[in-house]
Structures are given as C-alpha cells and as structure tokens.
Amino acid sequence: TAHMSELAGLPEDALAAAAPVAYQWRRGLRRLRALGRFVADTQAHGAPLNLSPVAHLSLQAACAHAAVLARQLGHWRDQDALAWIPRKLQQLDLAALPVPTLPAPDGCPASPVAAARSALATELCLQVLTALLAEGEGLTDVTDVTAPLSAHAWLSDGLRRWHGHCARTARRFDDLGPHRAHRLRRRARQLRDMLDLFAPLWPQAEGKHAHEAHARHAHALVKALDALGALQDETVALARYRSVLAQDIRAQAACTWLQERRKPLRKKAQRALRRWLTRSAPW
C-alpha cells in the first residue's frame, strides 16, 4: 500500500514519475496474489494455513481486486516495456513503426495515478487490513517456539511443490510453445514472489549456510525470469505487429527482425533455466 499511496499523491500528468512507482505497486499486487494462490494450493493439498474465516474471505477478496488492478497497470507497463523496439528499428534503418497497442481493459482508469485513487484500490486496502486485523486477534504468543517451526514447515512444503512443478516444466522447455513458456514464467515468478515475501524466515530458521543457498537459488531464478521476460515481451510485440500487417506493410520489417531474434532468445532462456536447475532448492 505504500507505493499505492505514493502513486495516488502524484499529479495526473506526472507520467515519468509515475512509471517506476506503478511498477513497484504492481509487484506488490503480484506478491499478494501469489500469497493467495499459495494459501489455496496448500489447502487443496491437505496442509491448510489456520486462518480465521474472516481473514480467509478478506484475503480472497483482496486477491480478486489485486488481479483487476494488476491487469490495468499491465496495460501501461506493456506500452513502456515495448517502447525500445521502434527506437531499435530506427537505429537499424528499418521502418520505426510503434508497437501497436491493445484496447485498455474494461473499466480501466485514465492513468496509473487514477488507478491508485480508484474505489477499487481503496477496497483492496480495506480487505487487506480486515484480513490482518481478523487474524491478529487470534495469533498465538510470539514467544511460542513451535510457531516459527510450524510456519516454516508449511512454507517449505508448499515451496517444494511449486519448485517441483516449475522444474519439471523447465526441463521440457524445448517442447514448449509461446503460451506454455509464458505459463512457466508466471509460475516461476510466483515462486520468486513467495521467496521474496518470506525471505526473512530463512536465516532465522536454518542459519547462514541455508541463507546463502537461498541467495544463490534466488539469483539463478531471477536470471531465468529475466530471460523468459525478454522472450515474452518480444513474443507480444511480434504478435501485435502481425495483427496490423494487412493495414500497414511497414510492420513486415519489424516482424522479420523480431522473428530472427526468437531462436537466440529461446536459447538464452534455456541456458538460464538450466543454470537455475543446477541450484538445489534449499527447503
């Protein structure tokens, strides 16, 4: 909520200042959604987190709001993330046609600042606060030494399951089409988001060596996500240029250039995934 509040306090036309804050807010929304999915997944596999009914319902509602807001912010993020492509085309003396934009999602505010000021954003904050307060009333004494161990066991069990799913898919990366490669990226990103959320637990629970193992694993995972992200961005750009070929022949130059880059980008992503797979998951 800190980045949301900062964003809401900016002028509507402060696009340059808003972009990095909106990016950080979107990351926070993704982490909240990852937590909601993690809680649901552990419940489905017989290891439920002992949330109060009010906290559980509020978490579900907050995640639903976060999904809508993340899609809205993603609309502007895509425009910013793909802006380098026409500039690069111009440097190569090719037709510098801007990447075609998609229509804004239904109900999308006029700007990231407007999204942060929206009723939906306020409702998100209220649901998060409700979940925290409802759960806080039932928390056990923090001096109970069994509480961190039980939380650590719950977290480790879920992380092993998520890691295993991502690792199995990553080993078959050669066979993955664009859609399934994007799904792998999304699942791996959720794994990273959970690691980021609970990073303070590891050194306390397992000591220095385990903390270092987590850092090495996290670094390799970030590198793999960066490579998958670059591949996905150019996949999106290629699809958008192809969609306007019938209306603007200049898009052909961009399509040809992006298509030539696909194989090197896939190889780079595959190498990064293989390096990640060599890092033992330390939970």
Cα–Cα distances in angstroms (integers) from residue 88 to residues 91, 238, 266, in the given order: 5, 14, 20
Residue 207 structural domain: 146-283
281 and 159 both lie in a single domain: yes
Q: Which of 116, 18, 14 is nearest to 69 (CA)?
A: 116
Residue 39 sits in the same domain as residue 107:
yes
pTM: 0.88
User: DSSP 3-state assignment of 49?
Assistant: coil
The domain tally of the chain equals 2
57/173 same-domain check: no
Hey, how many other C-beta atoms are within 10 angstroms of the C-beta on 9?
12
Residues 103 and 126 in one domain: yes
| Residue pair 90/56 in contact by the 8 Å Cβ criterion | no
Tell me the per-residue pLDDT of 186-236, one tens digit each, with 9 for 90 and over.
999 999 999 888 877 766 555 566 667 778 899 999 999 999 999 999 999
pLDDT, tens digit, 9 for 90 and up, residues 157-193: 899 999 999 999 999 999 999 999 999 999 999 999 9
- Give the mean pLDDT of the chain: 89
Residues 10 and 77 in one domain: yes
Domain boundary residue, one of 108, 139, 170: 139
CA distance 35 to 29: 10
Answer with the one of 74, 105, 139 that is the final residue of a domain.
139
